[in-house]
């Protein structure tokens, strides 16, 4: 087996270290071939102390990242990249609970698919237990990681990576310059850069379990950061559209533009349409536009769009064995209202503080990940 490097960027995660180390120690991989690097920001001394308790295990090492701008996860990853010794490298977050055999399965896939340079494992939300936000979040993840990303990989389209459980060939990652330290969704940017170089990305059915935010404020902060990062990615790669066209070709470029713009514009259109209808109803004019063609067309687009989104989530949940969460996906139109609000905040943050990184708070999971069928 080749040497495998696991990079774990941490900040203010002292309470997660015990659970994290327990999950990493369950990885089924030769001890002498595993390098696990904790990249802890220096302004998080409690987390540094929590990690130091585990440094008696030769697999673990600690890299203290200097406190300097930009204070982002990709900056920490770039700081640790020169210390990596593995042939392959994977990024995990503090709350991640990967399948124990994930590294072995990915190595086997890299050896079968010799032209693939990056493999995205499947992220699964494990606390979508009927509550509104976690259930819809779980559907979001299932639709993205079990339906859309495998399709993009199969069709050789631009694939926005997940922020964790993405596995790389180390030499290629170094060759393309690592991560953009200023992008707050460095995963999406890196997926675009791989595609522009003509490098192939694949997906794996191996799972990494995570917990979704259960309250509104953390959810809003996290979703705002993601949307802001997609705005950054769109702006950066469209600075010179002629080069983007040359790198991707016409079809892949148009699909890239449609996917990224769709992520940003669809929630705003949905929110605006609902607010307009609400205003008409409140003012007593709700029945007035029903016979107009434009209004009927808007309703049809709304219904079809929501049906496709709900169907994608349900298909993803079926593939991940989370069929108990299918019914809550009917609430997706209400969830999209919140996504529309987060999109507004994302554009405001992009204008005012584009590199600000909202740190999602994590709590140790009290449940064991259920084995999906």
Tell me the CA distances in angstroms from 4 to 30, 89, 132, 211, 354, one per residue in order: 9, 6, 38, 25, 34
Q: Is 368 helix (H, G, I), strand (E, B) or coil?
A: coil
Using alpha carbons, select from 321, 315, 325, 312 the residue that is nearest to residue 130.
325
Query: What pLDDT, on a 0 to 100 scale, did the predictor assign at position 280?
Result: 79
pLDDT tier at 369, thresholds 50, 70, 90: very low
Tens-place pLDDT, residues 71-116: 999 999 999 999 999 999 999 999 999 999 999 999 999 999 999 9
pLDDT > 70: what percent of the chain?
96
- Phi and psi (nearest 5°) for 301? -60, -40
Q: How far apart are CA 259 and CA 255, in angstroms?
A: 6
Quote the distance between the C-alpha of residue 247 and its chain's center. Answer: 24
More confident residue, 305 or 370: 305
Q: How far apart are CA 79 and CA 66, in angstroms?
A: 9
- Checking 358-363 for CB contacts under 8 A at 24+ apart, the result is 358/221, 358/222, 358/224, 358/225, 359/11, 359/12, 360/213, 360/218, 360/221, 360/222, 361/12, 361/218, 362/13, 362/15, 362/16, 362/94, 362/95, 362/211, 363/15, 363/16, 363/211
Residue 365, pLDDT above cutoff 90: no
pLDDT tier at 288, thresholds 50, 70, 90: low
More confident residue, 101 or 295: 101
**Averaged confidence pLDDT in the chain:** 93
Q: How far apart are CA 78 and CA 76, in angstroms?
A: 5
Tens-place pLDDT, residues 120-178: 999 999 998 878 999 999 999 999 999 999 999 999 999 999 989 999 999 999 999 99
In the sheet with 4-10, reading across from the earlier edge strand, the strands are 60-65, 34-41, 4-10, 88-91, 166-169, 116-125, 200-210, 97-98
CA torsion through residues 101, 212, 120, 86, sign: negative
Taking each helix axis from N to C end, the angle separating 216-237 and 332-352, rounded to the nearest 10 degrees, works out to 60
Lowest mean pLDDT: which of 38-42, 279-283, 301-305? 279-283
Q: How far apart are CA 255 and CA 156, in angstroms?
A: 11
Query: What pLDDT, on a 0 to 100 scale, did the predictor assign at position 295?
Result: 76
Tell whether omega for the bond before 70 is within 30 degrees of 0, i.e. cis: yes
Residue 290, pLDDT above cutoff 90: no
Tens-place pLDDT, residues 22-60: 999 999 999 999 999 999 999 999 999 999 999 999 999
CA torsion through residues 50, 54, 59, 62, sign: positive
Q: How far apart are CA 358 and CA 75, in angstroms?
A: 14
Tell me the CA distances in angstroms from 206 to 20, 62, 253, 372, one per residue in order: 18, 27, 29, 11
Q: How far apart are CA 253 and CA 240, in angstroms?
A: 12
Give the pairing type, strands 200-210 and 116-125: parallel
Using alpha carbons, select from 120, 272, 292, 112 the residue that is nearest to residue 191.
120
Give the pairing type, strands 60-65 and 200-210: unpaired
Query: What pLDDT, on a 0 to 100 scale, did the predictor assign at position 364?
Result: 75
Q: What residue spans define the domains of the chain?
A: 1-367
The pLDDT of 198-221, averaged and rounded, is: 96
Tens-place pLDDT, residues 139-153: 999 999 999 999 999
Distance between start and end Cα atoms, the chain:
28
Q: How far apart are CA 280 and CA 261, in angstroms?
A: 28
Of 3.90.550.10, 1.10.10.10, 3.30.70.100, 2.30.30.190, the CATH number of 1-367 is 3.90.550.10
* Structural element, H or E, at residue 172: helix 170-175
Query: What pLDDT, on a 0 to 100 scale, did the predictor assign at position 370?
Result: 43
Report the predicted TM-score, pTM, of the whole model to 2 decimal places: 0.93
- The answer to whether 128 and 322 have CB atoms below 8 angstroms apart is yes
pLDDT tier at 291, thresholds 50, 70, 90: low
Give the pairing type, strands 60-65 and 88-91: unpaired
Query: What pLDDT, on a 0 to 100 scale, did the predictor assign at position 373?
Result: 36
Q: CB burial class (10 A; 0-12, 13-18, 19+) of residue 15?
A: middle
Tens-place pLDDT, residues 325-354: 999 999 999 999 999 999 999 999 999 999
Using alpha carbons, select from 139, 56, 60 the residue that is nearest to residue 306.
139
């Amino acid at each position: 087996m080749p040497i495998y490097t696991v990079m774990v960027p941490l900040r203010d995660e002292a309470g997660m270290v015990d659970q994290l180390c327990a999950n990493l120690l369950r990885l089924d991989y030769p001890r002498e071939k595993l390098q696990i690097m904790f990249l802890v920001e220096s302004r998080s001394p409690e987390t540094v102390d929590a990690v130091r308790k585990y440094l008696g295990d030769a697999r673990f090492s600690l890299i203290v990242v200097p406190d300097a701008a930009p204070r982002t996860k990709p900056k920490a990853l770039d700081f640790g990249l020169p210390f990596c010794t593995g042939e392959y490298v994977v990024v995990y977050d503090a709350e991640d609970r990967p399948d124990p055999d994930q590294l072995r399965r990915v190595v086997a896939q890299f050896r079968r698919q010799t032209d693939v340079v990056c493999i995205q494992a499947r992220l699964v939300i494990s606390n979508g237990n009927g509550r509104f936000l976690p259930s819809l979040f779980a559907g979001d993840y299932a639709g993205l990681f079990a339906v859309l990303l495998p399709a993009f990989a199969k069709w050789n389209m631009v694939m926005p990576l997940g922020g964790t459980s993405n596995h790389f060939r180390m030499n290629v990652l170094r060759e393309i310059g690592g991560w953009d330290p200023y992008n707050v969704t460095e995963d999406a940017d890196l997926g675009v850069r791989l595609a522009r170089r003509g490098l192939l990305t694949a997906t794996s059915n191996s799972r990494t379990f995570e917990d979704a935010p259960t309250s509104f404020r953390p959810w809003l902060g996290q979703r705002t950061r993601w949307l802001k990062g997609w705005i950054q990615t769109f702006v950066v790669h469209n600075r010179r559209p002629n080069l983007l066209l040359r790198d991707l070709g016409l079809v892949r470029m148009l699909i890239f533009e449609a996917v990224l713009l769709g992520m940003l514009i669809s929630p705003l259109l949905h929110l605006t349409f609902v607010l307009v209808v609400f205003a008409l109803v409140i003012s007593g004019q709700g029945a007035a536009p029903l016979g107009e063609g434009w209004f009927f067309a808007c309703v049809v687009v709304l219904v079809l769009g929501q049906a496709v989104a709900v169907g994608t989530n349900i298909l993803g949940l079926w593939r991940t064995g989370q069929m108990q969460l299918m019914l809550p996906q009917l609430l997706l139109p209400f969830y999209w209202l919140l996504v529309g609000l987060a999109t507004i905040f994302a554009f405001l943050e992009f204008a005012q503080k584009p590199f600000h990184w909202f740190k999602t708070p994590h709590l140790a999971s009290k449940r064991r990940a259920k084995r999906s069928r």
